[in-house]
Amino acid sequence: MRRILLYFALKYEGDYFLILEAIKGKERVDEKDLKDIEKKINCKYVTIIDENYPSKLKNSFRPPWVLFYYGDYSLVEKNSIAVIGARQNSYYGKIMCEKIVKESKPYVDVIVSGLAYGIDSIAHRQALNSQIKTIAILGSGIDYCYPKQHLKLYEEICKKGLVISEYPNKVTPRKDNFLIRNRLIAGLSDQVVVIEANYKSGTMNTVTFALEYGKDVCCVPSLATKKSGCNMLIKQGAKLVENAKDIFENNF
C-alpha cells in the first residue's frame, strides 16, 4: 500500500485532493510502474501508513499522504520551535532573529522554518551557525529549491538538518502551495515564534494553523508606529518575547 501512495503522490504531484480521489475511487495502478516506482525519486520518503510517520502531523489538518525528505529524519520527533516572519525584514528583525535562535540552544533541539527570504532564511542560517539542528519545509518539490538564491543553504540543511516537502521531485512552486505548506511548519513545531509580520501574510497564516493546533504563539514586539501583526497578536494574548528565555520560561 505504501508504494501505491507513492505512485499516486508522483502521478498527482503531491496534490492532496487528487490523491484522495484516486484512493477513494480505487484507481487502477499500472503494475509495471508500481514495481519500479521507487526508482523515480532520488530522496527518501515516508507515508501516512508508516509507523515512523511524524506523530505531530497525524492529527493535523490534511496530513500529507507522503513526505519526501533529505537529511536526518529523526528530527521530526525532537523538541522544536518554528521561527517565522517577514520576507522583507528590517535590521531590527534580523538582529532579534539571530539573538533568539542563538539563545534557544539550551532549550530546544530544532529550529523549524520555510526557507523563504527574510526571517526564515536568517533563522536557518543562525541555527546552523549555532550548531542547532534545523528543518526546512518547502512549498515546492523536494528537488526544487525555492528561492534559487538559497541553494547553498538548502544543500547545507540537507546535509546537516532535514528538508521536507509533500511535493515530489522538481514540482514547481505555486502560491497556494506555500500557504498550505504552513500547516506543516505549525504542526511539526511545539511553539511558534513570530518576528515581524504584516496583518495579511503567510506568517499570519502559519499562526492561524498553530492556534488551531493549540500551540503557543510568541511574538517579538515591533515599534508602536508600525502596523504590526506581532503587536496585534500580543494584544490578543500571544506571549511577548524579548529573548529566548521568555519563550521557554514556563515550559521547563
| Cβ neighbours for 239, distance < 8 A, ≥ 6 positions apart | 216, 217, 218, 219, 246, 247
Backbone angles phi, psi at 84, to 5 degrees: -135, 165
What share of the chain has pLDDT > 70, as a percent?
99
Strand-pairing partners, residue 218, are 193, 239
Look at the domain 73-248 and name its fold. Answer: Rossmann fold (3.40.50)
* CA dihedral of 5, 59, 191, 161, whole degrees rounded to 10: -20
Q: Find where cell 503587536 sits.
A: 231
User: Among residues 121, 111, 74, 90, which one has the least CA distance to residue 193?
Assistant: 111
pLDDT band at 250 (very low <50, low <70, confident <90, very high): low
Q: Quote the pLDDT of residue 223.
A: 85
> Rounded to whole angstroms, how far apart are CA atoms 211 and 207?
6
**By the 8 A CB rule, do 213 and 60 touch?**
yes
Determine the 3-state secondary structure of 118 from DSSP. Answer: coil
Q: Quote the pLDDT of residue 252.
A: 38
Q: Quote the pLDDT of residue 225.
A: 75
Task: Determine the distance from the C-alpha atom of residue 100 to the mean position of all C-alpha atoms in its chain, rounded to a whole number.
Answer: 18
Handedness of CA 97, 102, 108, 112 (dihedral sign): positive
C-alpha cell at 149: 538564491
C-alpha cell at 35: 514495481
**Alpha helical stretches, state H, the chain:** 2-11, 16-24, 31-35, 91-103, 119-129, 151-160, 175-188, 202-212, 229-235, 244-248
pLDDT band at 34 (very low <50, low <70, confident <90, very high): confident
Backbone angles phi, psi at 215, to 5 degrees: -85, 150
**Strand blocks (E) in 51-127:** 66-71, 80-85, 110-113
* Residue spans in the chain of domains classed CATH 3.40.50.450: 73-248
**Average pLDDT for residues 152-166, to the nearest whole number?**
98
Q: Residue 149 carries which DSSP code?
A: G
**Average pLDDT for residues 106-120, to the nearest whole number?**
96
Q: Find where cell 505504501 sits.
A: 2
pLDDT of residue 117 exceeding 70: yes
Average pLDDT value for the chain: 94
> Rounded to whole angstroms, how far apart are CA atoms 252 and 249?
6
> Rounded to whole angstroms, how far apart are CA atoms 14 and 167?
5
| Cβ neighbours for 98, distance < 8 A, ≥ 6 positions apart | 122, 126
